[in-house]
Structure 1
Amino acid sequence: MINKSEILELLEKSLQGKLSQEEEKHLDYLLLKDGDVHEIPFEDEAEREEIEHRLLQKIHQSKNKNKIRVIKKYLVAATISTFALATGIHYYFSSKQPLEISKNSRVEKKSDINLDQPVLTLSDGTKVNLNQTNSGVLTTQENVEIIGNEGLLSYSKNSADHIVRSQTVYNTLKTPNGVQYHLALSDGTRVWLNGNSEIKFPVLFNGEERVVELSGEAYFEVAKTNKPFKVSTDNTVIQVLGTHFNVKAYKDDTNVKTTLLEGSVKVASLGKEKILRPGQEAVCSGSDILIHQVDVELAVGWRNGLFTFNNEPLEQVMKQISRWYNMEVIYSGVKPQILFTGIIPIRDNIQKALMPVGEAASLSFDIKVNKIIVTKNND
């Protein structure tokens, strides 16, 4: 049995910078023991929340508050070591089930579709509700079985089908705010779709290339074939053969971000092209493509139930949080010009999610119906 008291003591020593190399190795071992860091024997959910809250409080209390007061325009809310620690704490406390991942699926009449759940639109306009009690084969198109099962939508091609089709049949998967979904395309490519996102894709990939259209955010693990795989957004096209990468292209953002974890990709935008290497991120804004090194684990933190920020303006931080909870942000008075770096576990309670932002940036949040009113506290 995992000794939770020992883990908590080591985590607190790590926060204080008093962890020896031997203790650090032992902490890593405990957190990854038996390959499963989730089976921690808490008495109940209240105990788990209380311990997690206490540890996260310590993270945010450990920041250099004097530096924040002196450099009022900027805010450093977490060090690299705190990033790693916060991620470890998240894995340590999170449940085995992905956040808000749908359980099962069934075909629905259009009038029965719940807009708070993922929805698949077939080529004939039929809506498929992906958060109901039925699972298994939903329907068949182009001799491809469309299967729903516990948060995964998969397209299983009949290997005996060698018919060459003149037309490409498309489906569209859309997720609402606060819901993620996993998609397996007919070529073997895996896609993780973040909340408030939409992807249009062929049931079968015909022709000389594989093309999908994305609005929102998705993580791709592209199956290797001799056909290029392309992700198309409003003004940007990402082209690969087989690789792992993340694309963030929400319509209300001013730029498109492509982060490469493995392999290589070509990013094209408004006549310009750049090649990405692992650990790099391309930011497409207007006619410019800027490339810089990033911590790729932070870029895909949303897959592990984390809001992650690296030197992000407060406005972008609030946009990301409010988008997940489907709320509008209103600033009372002058909008604070500060930068935020840190990790926040995605929670079912928006007030808990906002707590570390408020503490680090000296802000107050008034939660109204579908609105977050942000006020800067007097120092």
Structure 2
Amino acid sequence: MQEHDEHERKWHLAAKVLSGSSLDAEEQLAWEALQADSQFQLEYAQVKKYWQQLEGLPYGRIDAGRDWQTVWSRIQHQVPATTPSRRLVAPWLRYAAIIALCVSVAFFAGWKLSGPAAGPGAAHALTVIEAPPGSKTRVTLPDSSTVWLNAKSRLSFDERFGVDNRNLALEGEAFFDVIKSDMPFRVRTPLYDVAVLGTAFNVKAYADDDRVITTLVHGSVRIERKNDAGATEVIMLKPNEKVTAYRTTPGGPAFSGRYRYTVDRGIDAEMETAWKDGWLSVQGESLLELARKLERVYDIKIDFEGKTLENYRYTGRLRQLSLEQVLKALSLTSPVAFTIDEKKVTLREDKSSTSKYRSLQNP
């Protein structure tokens, strides 16, 4: 029991030091004594490294008490014999929880990072970063590359990222500004891998969309996918080009069925990536597709009264204002009326203005 309390005390002090909280005289003496504990110093150095990489994480969404208890049960994989303390209730606990989250073990099914860090039978600690519906997140990765995660997106990478691999798995949408290195930077989506050395590009791979899109801003990217015969096919992109995988067999689980691949050249890549700068941009998208985007951005549910509206198509860019302001702008450019009931939006056709709007139907 004494050893149990001693480990608690060490990490209680470490969390206070890293979060900038002051130590009383007794705590200061105990912290100074820990400088001679070589095993603890090795563990503390690892935690401190992750702490210093937290600038882009969504602190406001951390539930300190809950997260601290949860992650301490996981962090034991990296900091043996350490157990959670029920007494950690001070204001700095919120930051302590963030420390633990960054080194916690989070195995989640369905993803397996490629490359040497994920060999057959290997089990690796994963860092998982999420941008929930209604929010965006900017993250600086361990290799100093920067990622913007769009709403309802998840990014994961293992503990060897930046050491012997730069492999990540993405679900949702993200913009990557990659630091150049001889070590390839690889993003795995459910349909294909995107490999680069140093560049800026955008990947959109939402489970509820019928297309997966990669857009290149500058540099070059290599798209690698397995065809139906199991052979690897490669698509190279240059700046202001994008590859789109269209699902041609509707229904069934996400990312299943057949896909048709196209490459568009001479596009406006800045338009495609404007979301990270607070713009809502659409390029020939149907109202149904736009509705899905609005659901993610504003964390709402949109219902249609009638199928006709779903085929209206839009092109343009609008600053991400309040939900009501965006819907009003939509109603000014098309025969769309709306009602908002808390987190539910209902769209219906405004027949009084239908004749003033020339809809562009799907080919």
TM range (shorter): 0.5 to 0.7
Match of 2:317 among 324, 336, 343: 343
Alpha-carbon offset, residue 103 of structure 1: 5.8
Matched positions, count: 247
Residue 102 of structure 1: CA displacement?
4.2
Question: Structure 1: which 5+ runs fail to align?
Answer: 1-99, 114-118, 127-131, 145-165
Asked if the contact 1:230–1:237 (Cα under 8 Å) also holds between the matched residues in 2, the reply is yes
Report what 1:317 is aligned to.
290
Q: Deviations over 1:52-75 (max 9, x none)?
A: xxxxxxxxxxxxxxxxxxxxxxxx
Partners of 1:189 and 1:223 within 8 A in 2: yes
Cα contact 1:122–1:172 (8 A) shared by 2: no
Q: Deviations over 1:12-44 (max 9, x none)?
A: xxxxxxxxxxxxxxxxxxxxxxxxxxxxxxxxx
Please tell me whether residue 278 in structure 1 is matched to residue 252 in structure 2. no
Q: Which amino acid aligns with 1:186?
A: P
Query: Offset at 1:136?
Result: 9.0
Q: 1:193–1:332: structure 2 CA closer, same or farther, 3 Å change rule?
A: same
In 2, Cα distance between equivalents of 1:122 and 1:185: 21
Partner of 2:334: 361
Q: Retained in 2: the 8 A contact 1:270–1:287?
A: no
Residue 287 to residue 269, structure 1, CA distance change in 2 (3 Å): farther
Greater share of helix residues, 1 or 2? 2
Q: Cα gap change, 1:137/1:222 in structure 2, threshold over 3 Å: closer, same or farther?
A: farther
1:45-56 maps to which residues of 2 (within 5 A)? none
Residue 175 in structure 1 maps to residue 136 in structure 2: no
Higher relative contact order (CA closer than 8 Å, sequence separation 6+): 1
Runs of 4 or more consecutive aligned structure 1 residues displaced over 4 Å after TM superposition: 100-107, 121-126, 132-138
What residue number does 1:65 align with? none
Instruction: Say which of 225, 250, 255 aligns to 2:206.
Output: 250
Letter in 2 for 1:342: G
Q: Compare CA radii of gyration and give the structure with the larger one.
A: 2
> How far does the alpha carbon of each residue in 1:285-308 deviate from its partner, in whole angstroms, 9 at most, with x for none?
344221103211111111111110
Matching of residue 203 in structure 1 with residue 177 in structure 2: no
C-alpha change, 1:106 and 1:312, in structure 2 (3 Å) is closer
Give the Å deviation of 1:124.
6.4
Query: Aligned partners of 1:168 and 1:111: how far apart in 2?
Result: 21
Aligned to 1:326: 299
Task: Check the 8 A contact 1:122/1:170 in 2, yes or no.
Answer: no
1:372 corresponding residue in structure 2: 345
With over 3 angstroms needed to count, the CA separation of the structure-2 counterparts of 1:123 and 1:260, relative to structure 1, is farther
Alpha-carbon separation, structure 1, partners of 2:100 and 2:288: 44
Structure 1 residues 1-379: aligned runs within 5 Å: 102=58, 108-110=64-66, 138-139=98-99, 168-205=124-161, 209-271=165-227, 272-285=233-246, 286-293=258-265, 294-336=267-309, 337-347=311-321, 349-378=322-351, 379=354
Residue 269 of structure 1 deviates from its aligned partner by 2.9
Q: How far is 1:168 from its partner?
A: 4.2
After superposition, the C-alpha distances for 1:103-151 in whole angstroms (9 at most, x for unaligned) are: 66868343689xxxxx9x976699xxxxx99669943799x9xxxxxxx
CA RMSD of aligned residues (A): 3.4
Cα 1:305–1:374 shift into 2, 3 Å = same
- Secondary structure in 2 aligned to 1:251? coil
Q: CA deviation at 1:208?
A: 5.3
Letter in 2 for 1:139: I
Q: Which runs of 5+ in 2 are unaligned?
A: 1-55, 78-82, 84-91, 104-121, 228-232, 247-257, 355-363
Aligned residue for 1:22? Answer: none
Shift of 1:335: 2.7
Q: CA deviation at 1:317?
A: 1.1
Is the 2:193–2:224 contact (alpha carbons within 8 Å) kept by the matching residues of 1? yes
Moved more, 242-251 or 205-214: 205-214
Identity of aligned residues (%): 25
TM-score, structure 1 length as denominator? 0.58
Are the equivalent residues in 2 in contact too, given 1:107–1:138 (CA < 8 A)? no
Query: Contact 2:181 / 2:197 at 8 angstroms: preserved in 1?
Result: yes
Q: 1:204 offset after TM fit, Å? A: 3.1
Deviation string 1:295-353 (CA, Å, 9 cap, x unpaired) is 11111111111110111111111111122112222111233222101112112x31111
In the alignment, residue 338 of structure 1 is paired with which amino acid? Y
- Whichever structure has more strand as a proportion of its residues is 1
* Distance across 2 between alignment mates of 1:335 and 1:261: 35
Q: Distance in 1 between matches of 2:334 and 2:140?
A: 41
The verdict on how the C-alpha distance between 1:107 and 1:357 changes in structure 2, with shifts beyond 3 A counting, is: closer
| Matched-pair contact (CA < 8 Å) for 2:143–2:162 | no
* Structure 1 residues 209 and 316: CA distance shift in structure 2, 3 A: same
Q: Distance in 1 between matches of 2:146 and 2:245?
A: 24
In structure 1, C-alpha distance between the alignment counterparts of 2:162 and 2:323, rounded to whole Å? 44
What's the TM-score once normalised by structure 2's chain length?
0.60
